[in-house]
Amino acid sequence: MELSFHPSLSPDQANRNLSTLLVRGTIQNSALDSAIKRLDERFRSYCALYPHGLWAPGLVVTSEMRGSTEQYLPMTEIRSAFSRFFPLALRYPLQDENNPFSTASNWLDLLQRFRLSKEAVNPAALLRKLIFEESFRIRFLFSSLLPKHHGGNFSRYPEQISFLEGWITQRRAFLPPETDTLDAACGTGEGTYDVAGLLLKCGTPSRAQRVHGCSLEPLEVFAAAHGCFPHDPGREERFHSITAPLFTAQATSGMLFFQDNIMRQPTREEKPYDIILCNGLLGGPFLHGPDMLENAIAALTKRLKAGGVLLTADRFHEGWKKGSPPALIEEIMQHSGLVVQRGDFGIAAEKK
């Protein structure tokens, strides 16, 4: 367990924990200053040669605009400058798959994604603002690493919650007094709080709940624990409003969010779980193909108690399901010794 946070809606606690992840104050680095200067010169040439109007919010970007931008303001140079910025702004190593600059093919596409003001069209000016203005930098980092299209919904899989409620009710006499739950690949934790609320509804007292959520992205772990979204105040307000009753009922006292890889094999000392959720991951853009699925499902199965259940659901595009169809996931689960059923709730796999 590399990094972990207990849930808290205290602004002071959230600020202290955020300081363990992000560098505060002004960033000073001569190599980055030189990269910004070179990028500024490149942008001046771009302005002189670019045959279209400069980007502004709401602009409809065409293939011709992308082509001209790449010709006069190549993404490789922008990527090089920002590759110096991220290690100076973050206190943890950024994985390439989480870095929007490592996969973007054009500067205009990134501008559209970040939804910044028109002043940000100059990447050098954007970097200068990032190194000098802490609050702006924090919003940018959250916007880059926790984009709005990544989850953000409570009750995202209502059929699964209904199934789980029935499963818990039917097995209430056989479940141990303490119910252990893992939300694997929990994202920003909305589904984790959904489960905590369900356990409370099903009669599991807060003192008997052990609800964990894990993610590879440290900022997701932080956001889940504190409901903190500096780049999206509306989302933060909704998050606090929905989770506040759980804090009042002390249903969060046994909750923990931590950084982890679901592919990791558990140690002998780790306590297994009665319930494991793994939604929006198996068979999707980040984890697909037989080998990856086999490794992930085998690791999750080892974390599951005998008599426990592994639940998975998704909202993937049908293209991903053609490559890794639910039937393949079911087959791999069965080979791992799980008893599988499928329905509107997704897939439920019990470990007998």
228-274 pLDDT per residue, tens:
999 999 999 999 999 999 999 999 999 999 999 999 999 989 999 99
Where along the chain do its domains lie?
16-145, 158-351
**Whether 297 contacts 328, CB under 8 Å:** no
* Cα 306 to Cα 285: distance, rounded to the nearest angstrom: 30
With cut-offs at 50, 70 and 90, classify the pLDDT of residue 296.
Answer: very high
pLDDT the model gives residue 191: 95
Task: Classify 346 in phi/psi space as left (phi over 0), alpha (psi -120 to 50) or beta.
Answer: left
> Whole-prediction pTM value?
0.93
pLDDT the model gives residue 29: 97
With cut-offs at 50, 70 and 90, classify the pLDDT of residue 305.
Answer: very high
Q: Which residues contact 253 (CB under 8 A, 6 or more apart)?
A: 206, 207, 209
> DSSP per residue over 173-227, as a string?
TTS-SSEEEEEET-TTSHHHHHHHHHHHHTT--GGGEEEEEEES-HHHHHHHHHT
pLDDT the model gives residue 150: 57
pLDDT the model gives residue 1: 52
Answer yes or no: is pLDDT of 109 > 90. yes
Answer yes or no: is pLDDT of 110 > 60. yes
pLDDT the model gives residue 148: 62
With cut-offs at 50, 70 and 90, classify the pLDDT of residue 149.
Answer: low
Token representation of residue 158: 């209502």
> DSSP per residue over 69-84, as a string?
HHHHS-HHHHHHHHHH
54-90 pLDDT per residue, tens:
999 989 999 999 999 999 999 999 999 999 999 999 9
- Percent of residues, the chain, with pLDDT higher than 70: 98
**Whether 106 contacts 62, CB under 8 Å:** no
Q: State mean pLDDT over 285-311.
A: 94
Answer yes or no: is pLDDT of 47 > 70. yes
Q: What CATH class does 158-351 carry? A: alpha beta
Token representation of residue 121: 């069209």
pLDDT the model gives residue 95: 86
* Cα 197 to Cα 187: distance, rounded to the nearest angstrom: 17
